[in-house]
A = this chain, B = another copy of it.
Amino acid sequence: MSHIWLESLITENAQQGFELAMKLSRMGVKYTQPSDEVRGKLRSAYEENADSLIATSQVVAINFQTVSAANNYWRS
């Protein structure tokens, strides 16, 4: 991608870090399926599917590990 969507893994606090982990998870999908239209269509299905939502939460958890380590867990 030519435009900059990820400046840094550093965030001000843990919640912003979690939200960055959400973004990383979505970008992992977007790189593979760049069409907003197709992703929108898929979204309306998987967001009502419990197993898809749990799988999404798992990807977020993995990315949150990365962001948390980058930020030294926002300790102190």
Residue interface bits A1-33, CB-to-B below 8 A is 1, else 0: 100111111100111001100101111110111
Number of identical protomers: 6
Within 8 Å by CB of A1, from B19, B33, B38, B62, lies B19
Distance in angstroms from A74 CB to nearest chain B CB is 7
Chain A: interface residue count, which band?
Answer: 35 or more
Q: Are A52 and B52 in contact (CB under 8 A)?
A: no
Smallest Cβ-Cβ distance to A31: which chain B residue: B22
Interfacial chain B residues near A24, Cβ < 8 Å? 18, 61, 64
10 chain-A/chain-B pairs, Cβ below 8 angstroms: A6-B14, A7-B15, A25-B57, A28-B60, A32-B56, A42-B48, A51-B55, A54-B55, A55-B55, A59-B61
